Every structure is written in structure tokens, then in C-alpha cells.
Amino acid sequence: MVLVPGMALGDGAEMYQLGADAANYAMDELGFEKGDLNVLAVTNAGYPVIDDQTTEMCLDAVMEVSGCTPGKENLVNILSAPWKPLWFGFFNKNTGEAVYMTVNADASGFDLQEKGKIDAEYVLSNVETWNPGVFGSILPIANIWAHEKTPNIFMKAVCFHDHLCPGVSSGFLEAKYVEEKLPITDPSNQSYKVIACPNWCKDDYFQVAWDCTPGKKGMYVKYLTADETNALTAKYGTRVAGIFVRWDGSSNSGDGLVLGFDFDKAENMSNTDTWPSWAYRLKEDQVLMDAADSPEEFVSTIKEFHLENNDELLALQGAGINPLKVLGVESG
């Protein structure tokens, strides 16, 4: 066992060794050297707790052995509940190959170590015969990380959301659209406020990218029924995708947008009628990331509005209020 200098057994050495073993296995199987920028490490290490032991030392080991780090933007640390199993994944962009490992219940070793080819070009060319198996969770993460237009903030949002799906990708494009239409020009006084009505995976992106959290009163979540959502889609020809306000604290006023997101267009470009869900969702994530520099391909403005004072903002945020009705977007 290779120990961190000054570390005694019971001080995280076992967890460090698990991370080191995972990294060494990946380096052997995928054929890469320490510090290779074309290799991604994906793990939930640091969050699971095993027999009252935390797992942060696994992260130290992965970074020190493989050279994958947050600073190099090739370590993705997925949020996980403490009772979830500990797992590790590595992806070599040069070869398209990946390994995936899960740790057994007592953290004495691995109960699964598997290798496969998971790059998008290969798997989407073999949809009828390829099955993601144990690679289902890291398949979209690895391939969108490898996309030339993917920013690191997007991968941070994926970590927070705990997986990658077209819902998170839609949030990324909505944020890009808002930043173009309502840019922050006075950072000391301006901020974004999100009224997630309706809510879906998109809303986790704003919390990471804009520090726009419910706890800091930057996000309010409002559920819509399927009937309400479908009626709005039929009315506007696009899916209503939330309310966004650029709020100015110095003047207590704001400018806002009600946005729409064209999921039908994205799905029509992703073979949703013929492919299994893992395949069309991966393709849809690629389609949406392709539009990183042109979010208007999928995002549109349903309504622009101005808020004169704090009371008008509160009128959209309060409990029991449908803000889309307040703004006249939804009737009733």
C-alpha cells in the first residue's frame, strides 16, 4: 500500500488506496500516462460515506496518480447522496475507450471493473447492437465533455445535477440566450432571478452558472400540470421554459423575459422515433451543444416585460401565485 506521507492507517489510507487502485487500473487498461489532457476522470468520490468513513481521500488519489484535476478541467466530481455506492469512471478521448468501477459495500475492493468503447461516433453507428450497460451514466458525460464547444461551467452543472441529459443542456442554451438579451452590465447591483415555471432539469444549470439559488432568493420554483404545459405549447408553438429577470438592486427594478424552448426541433434532429432512449438522448445533447454559439436556434422570447418596483417582483414570486397568469402569458 502506498500511503500519503504522515498518514496512518485509519486516517483515510484505505480510501486513498481505493482511488489509487482505480486510477492505476484505468491507466493500465486505457493506456495513458499521468497528466494526459485527453483523459477524463468521473467519480462521485467525496460524497459517499462507507462504514462512517468519508471518501474525499479517493479524490486526492485519483488526482495524484492520474493527473486529472479540476484545474485541467478533466475531473468531474458528481454529486451523490452519502448512502450511494462509490464509483469511478475514466474516458480516453484519443481511443474512445472507458473503464467503470464500483466499490464493494465494505470498501475492501471493487465488485465491478469493466472496459468498453463508448465514444459517440462508435456507439451511434451501432445503435442496434450496442448496449450501454454499466456505462449508461458516464456515456453522455464523457462524450459531451469531449465536445469542442462544451465550457467547464456546463460540466460543473452536470456535477450538481448528478447526470447529463437534454434538460440540463436546455438550461445551458437558455442561460446563453438571457446573457445575450439581458447582459449583466453592473455586477455590483445587477443579478439574475429565475422563476422556474415550469420547472425541469434546466433549473439546476442556473444555480451553478449564475449562483442563482433558492436559499439566496435567486430562484423560485412553480409547478405546472401536464395539461397546463401542453396548452401553453399549443398556444405558442414552443414549450414555455421559465421566467428570467435581470434585477437591479440599486433601482429596485428589473427587465424580464418569458422564454420558450423548442424541444420538438431538438428531438426531430435526434431520431427519437426510431432509437432507444440512451441513443437519442446522447444525440440530442450533441445537437444542443452544437448550438452553444447560437442559442436562438432553440430558445425564443414569448414575452418581454419590465418591473417598476419590488412589489411587482414579489407579485411573481409569492406562494400560490401562477406568475404566467400575472404576466398574461397564461389565461385565467
Asked whether the beta carbons of 123 and 279 are under 8 A apart, the reply is: yes
Strands (DSSP E) found in the chain: 39-43, 49-50, 53-54, 75-77, 87-92, 97-103, 110-117, 190-196, 219-221, 239-248, 253-261, 299-307
Q: Is the pLDDT of residue 1 over 90?
A: no
In order of 97, 142, 167, 279, 312, the CA distances from 164 in angstroms are 19, 10, 8, 13, 35
Q: Rounded to whole angstroms, how far apart are CA atoms 296 and 97? A: 34
Asked whether the beta carbons of 265 and 139 are under 8 A apart, the reply is: no
C-alpha cell at 26: 484505468
User: What average pLDDT does the segment 79-106 reach?
Assistant: 97
What is the structure's pLDDT at 55? 97
**pLDDT tens, residue by residue, 162-183:** 999 999 999 999 999 999 999 9
Q: What is the DSSP string of 298-313?
A: TEEEEEEEEE-SHHHH
166-326 shares the fold of 13-146? yes
State the distance between the two ends of the chain, measured CA to CA, in whole angstroms.
68
Cell 441529459 belongs to 165
C-alpha cell at 246: 435581470
What is the structure's pLDDT at 43? 98
User: What average pLDDT does the segment 218-225 reach?
Assistant: 96
Q: Is the pLDDT of residue 251 over 50?
A: yes
What is the structure's pLDDT at 332? 72
Q: What is the DSSP string of 131-194?
A: --GGGTTHHHHHHHHTSTT--HHHHHHHHHHTS--HHHHHHHHHHHHHHHHS--S-TTTEEEEE
Instruction: Name the residue among 131, 132, 148 with its Cα closest to residue 140.
Output: 132
Residue that wins the pLDDT comparison between 7 and 139: 139
Asked whether the beta carbons of 202 and 260 are under 8 A apart, the reply is: no
Strand 75-77, strand 39-43: pairing: parallel
Alpha carbon 284 to chain centroid distance? 14
Give the CATH architecture of domain 166-326: 2-Layer Sandwich (3.30)
Asked whether the beta carbons of 14 and 65 are under 8 A apart, the reply is: no
In whole numbers, what is the pLDDT of the chain averaged over residues?
A: 95
Strand 219-221, strand 190-196: pairing: parallel
What is the structure's pLDDT at 11? 62
Give the CATH architecture of domain 13-146: 2-Layer Sandwich (3.30)
Q: Is the pLDDT of residue 3 over 80?
A: no
Q: Is the pLDDT of residue 5 over 50?
A: no
User: What average pLDDT does the segment 199-225 reach?
Assistant: 97
Q: Rounded to whole angstroms, how far apart are CA atoms 210 and 193? A: 9
Q: Is the pLDDT of residue 6 over 80?
A: no
Q: Rounded to whole angstroms, how far apart are CA atoms 310 and 251? A: 9
Q: Is the pLDDT of residue 4 over 80?
A: no
Instruction: Name the residue among 185, 150, 187 with its Cα closest to residue 285.
Output: 150
**pLDDT tens, residue by residue, 36-71:** 999 999 999 999 999 999 999 999 999 999 999 999
Domain boundaries, the chain: 13-146, 166-326
Strand 239-248, strand 253-261: pairing: antiparallel
- How many residues would you count in the chain? 332
Instruction: Name the residue among 132, 140, 135 with its Cα closest to residue 163.
Output: 140
Instruction: Name the residue among 260, 228, 231, 262 with its Cα closest to residue 244.
Output: 260
Q: Is the pLDDT of residue 2 over 90?
A: no
Helix, strand, or coil here: 88?
strand
